Structure 1
């Protein structure tokens, strides 16, 4: 079974996302916890959230992935920006308990000239302040493309963040195919070697989800521009190898390609038809 879905709008509520996912052939999905470019979060309807939980069980969905807003930067040089990240993530993790047992993915942030070591210190400090033993949500660090002063551009940086977190059973990694390819990990020609390197440095047991995206840019470009499946520099053949790789089977694959729902449906049909 290929666990695959797309990034869906949460504007019409939780249950609507589940129903929309089924309509495009998905058995998982990703959604923003709040305005991705702002700070506002829609008030949660407990009955709607409970209805989604029942719907997911009835339709045997894989684990869902919630995505933090892009404005969250826990390793900013500005104290007020770090405070916003702290308050936002703390609130998001509390809200995630309405749909327990899922994933919360975030971009580690940009150190803006402070250096990666200081960035990593600030990120782990925030995570240790926020993550609790009681939460059922696993927090995922997303692999980044390495543009500017991004933290998380290498497996080593992800390892350092994880090593600094106290409650390590509550943290994992979401691998973005566009990002790692742009960062210099050749998943087109050397997928096995990249996964072996990830396992050696981070541990494949930490890999919990995949953002399945082609790239508009060439290998090791250190940019972040997603492309539709098979229309970028990664290509369809590599995507098919990724979804069929024995070490990745069973993970939730979330499409973040530049598509509307009909486009996502076509990509899901294409990939389901490519399962070995």
Structure 2
């Protein structure tokens, strides 16, 4: 399994700095934002930034890379919000292609129930943006407030007959009512049966501050939330051994050390010197 954190591209080194952080922490995959996730403003790349990142990525054995799209994107939107969503997502896909990143993850957004079907059709429209290059992955949501993609069946309908895939977030799934704390293998069975694991190349491995079926999207460090050891039973299942696991956990030097130690113990990976 390849694993890592969501790392920052801020600072003087930008994208290359993200690859440097991966090397320093001994990560085998990373996730980044290509721009601010809470703004429509695009982020131009600096001279040599793309080349520097790609060179470091190659030196690290390829370093699978995921770009997380803006939180503002809404596949169930209308009018100007829809147009902005398409423009922003197209930018993320173009950046991913330039960087050699394999995947772009996007939250499906929200809609009134009568618009949910339109959201599904819109997802199919967007699928063509990722036909040549990175694969576009829809992320499951914690549910509530009209959020699309809060069940496996809803995700199945969104990606049906498209090249779209799914990024499965454990915190979101738990908050939506999937019992990862009690029956992690059953959740994985449901994921395999409903979507097919070949459609799920990336897992967001996060514990949950919110309670089971609370629809509260608050990530916690491994073993520091309500899911607890259920995450070990889930992520160590052999069916996920070739997936990419990205931790979107709270970050500090101490928190990083804790989460890496726990995950490496679960995966029986020796901590790099």
Contact 1:9 1:17 (8 Å CA) reproduced: yes
Q: SS at 1:194's partner residue?
A: helix
Residue matched to 2:72: 71
Contact 2:35/2:43 (<8 A) preserved: yes
Does the 8 Å contact 1:145/1:182 carry over to 2?
yes
Preserved contact between residue 171 and residue 218 of structure 2 (Cα < 8 Å): yes
Question: Alignment partner for residue 142 of structure 1, among 130, 139, 142?
Answer: 139
Indicate the residue corresponding to 1:37 in structure 2: 38
- 1:75–1:110 contact (8 Å) kept in structure 2: yes
Instruction: Decide whether the 8 Å contact of 2:64 with 2:101 is kept in 1.
Output: yes
How do 1:93-172 residues align onto structure 2 when only pairs under 5 Å count?
93-128=93-128, 130-132=129-131, 135-165=132-162, 168=163, 171-172=164-165
- Stretches of structure 1 lacking an aligned partner (at least 5 in a row): none
Normalising by the residue count of structure 2, what TM-score does the alignment of the two structures yield?
0.91
Q: TM-score, normalised by structure 1?
A: 0.90
Shift of 1:139: 0.7
CA contact (8 A) 2:19 2:53 kept: yes
Structure 2: unaligned runs, 5 residues or longer: 269-273
1:261 to partner: Cα distance: 4.3
* 1:240 and 2:241 are equivalent in the alignment: no
Deviation above 4 Å: which 4+ runs of structure 1?
none
User: Partners of 2:80 and 2:235 in 1: how far apart?
Assistant: 41
Aligned counterparts of 1:260 and 1:116: Cα–Cα separation in 2: 38
Which residue of structure 2 aligns with residue 5 of structure 1? 4
Q: Contact 2:106 / 2:139 at 8 angstroms: preserved in 1?
A: yes
Offset of 1:101 from its aligned partner? 4.5
Which one scores higher on RCO, CA 8 angstroms, separation ≥ 6? 1
Cα RMSD after superposing both structures = 1.8
**1:198 is matched with which residue: 187, 191, 197?**
191
Q: How does 1:219-258 map to 2 (within 5 A)?
A: 219-235=212-228, 237-258=229-250
Check if 1:267 corresponds to 2:268.
no
C-alpha separation between the residues in 2 aligned to 1:131 and 1:20?
Answer: 28
Distance of aligned partners of 1:250 and 1:265 in 2 relative to their CA distance in 1, 3 Å threshold? farther
Figure out how many residues of one structure are paired with residues of the other and give that number: 266
